[in-house]
Copies of this chain bind each other. A is one copy, B any other.
Amino acid sequence: MPQLYPVHKIRDKEILEKFGTNLKVIRKEKGLTQEELAFRSGLALSQIARIETGRLNSSICTLITIAKALQIEPGELLKAM
């Protein structure tokens, strides 16, 4: 019996993976390691790592905190989503 996966769960997974990829690309463009971004943002390194691998559904406040740490517009983290 195949495992049934609710549609919105699949959609959420795709959203979070895309957000994670956007974050990783921009972080690298800025020449920052995950540790440096964690330090700048005040977030835990493990949180940054889980966000980048699409395993964390962060909040809007966390998204704004990350955008400020990267000195970018928050919308840049949501490109092509």
**Does the CB pair A57–B57 fall under 8 Å?**
no
Oligomer: number of copies? 2
Chain A 47-60 interface 0/1 with B at a Cβ cutoff of 8 Å (1 = within): 00000000001111
Q: How large is the interface on A (under 10, 10 to 19, 20 to 34, 35 or more residues)?
A: 20 to 34
**Does the CB pair A74–B81 fall under 8 Å?**
yes
Q: List 19 A-B contacts (CB under 8 A).
A: A8-B42, A11-B61, A15-B60, A15-B61, A16-B60, A16-B61, A19-B60, A58-B59, A59-B59, A59-B60, A60-B60, A60-B63, A60-B78, A73-B78, A74-B78, A75-B75, A75-B78, A75-B79, A78-B78
A12 within 8 A of B: yes
Question: What's the least CB distance linking A16 to chain B, in Å?
Answer: 7
